[in-house]
Structure 1
Amino acid sequence: MSTQFTLPFASVARQFAQSALQANTLAFEGFERIVNLQLKSAEAGLKSSVEFLSEAGDVADLEGAKDIWPKSVALVKNSSEQLYSTSQEVLGQALKTSEAIGQLFRAEFQTASETVTKAASKAAKAAA
């Protein structure tokens, strides 16, 4: 009787370990995508800032400051929009990753439940 019940549990445990490895892989891939999104955003922001600062460095009088003022406002606006857009993409990627991991474990729990239920009913029949 113990071998009838032990084999399904060993199979389920092995399957859970494989699922945990898959979940870890999914999480790592999601993290990698998020980091890439943030790096691209930081690179674009840095490029815009450097361009603005190189232009602002040439300002020598009040008239030049008046001319550069709208560009500074545009830089802040664009940077804010880029930050918001990137945060939305990061959130979307995090949700996709968590949904994929959730689906993986949901399927595993269903399979494990079915396996254990079948093993328990077989053991009950054998005991009767």
Structure 2
Amino acid sequence: MYQQFNEQFAAATRQFADTAAQINRLALDNAEAVFGLQIAAIEDRVNATFAFFGEAAEARDFEAFKTLWPKGVQIARENVERAVSTGQETFGRTLKTNEAIAELAKSQIESAAKTTQANVEKAAKAATKAGVAPAAK
């Protein structure tokens, strides 16, 4: 009896470890993708901003500053748009990852429920059989 319990426990532990590894892999892949998106967005916006600051440093008169104003507004608008776009893409990727993790958890719960149900039915049959056999003698 203990051997059967140990085997079931070892199988359940192995299954749990495999599932945990899959979940960790999904989470790390998502974190890597999100980090890459954010770094790319930051790099792009920093390059554009420093290019604008380079132009602003070369401006010497009022007319040059007047032409810089629309460029500055454009850079700011693009920075905000890129931040929003990156945020939305990050949210979408994270949502998909969470759905995949939830699906893994759901399949594990269903598998555990089926295994438990089968073990309960097996034990109930064994108990019924053991209870009927001594009474028949």
TM-score (norm 1): 0.93
Amino acid at match of 2:96: K
Deviation at 1:50, TM superposition (A): 1.2
- Residue 47 of structure 1 is matched in structure 2 by 47
**Residues 67-114 of structure 1 deviation map (CA, whole Å, 9 limit, x = unaligned):** 110000000000000000000011011111111111111111101110
- Residue 132 of structure 2 is matched in structure 1 by none
- Unaligned 5+ runs, structure 2: 129-137
Take 2:106 and 2:77, find their aligned partners in 1: how far apart are those partners?
A: 43
- Residue 25 of structure 2 is matched in structure 1 by 25
- Higher RCO (C-alpha under 8 Å, 6+ residues apart): 1
- Residue 97 of structure 1 is matched in structure 2 by 97
- Residue 131 of structure 2 is matched in structure 1 by none
- Residue 37 of structure 1 is matched in structure 2 by 37
- Residue 134 of structure 2 is matched in structure 1 by none
1:79-98 aligned at under 5 Å gives the runs 79-98=79-98
- Residue 120 of structure 1 is matched in structure 2 by 120
Identical-pair percentage:
38
Amino acid at match of 2:100: A
**Residues 21-59 of structure 1 deviation map (CA, whole Å, 9 limit, x = unaligned):** 110111011000000000100010011011111111111
SS at 1:60 equivalent: coil
Deviation at 1:13, TM superposition (A): 2.4
Contact 1:4 1:119 in 2 (8 A): no
Q: Whose Rg is larger?
A: 2
CA RMSD between the two structures: 1.3
Runs of 4+ in 1 over 4 A off after TM superposition: 1-6
SS at 1:57 equivalent: helix
Amino acid at match of 1:59: A
TM-score (norm 2): 0.87
- Unaligned 5+ runs, structure 1: none
Amino acid at match of 2:61: D
Take 2:10 and 2:75, find their aligned partners in 1: how far apart are those partners?
A: 60
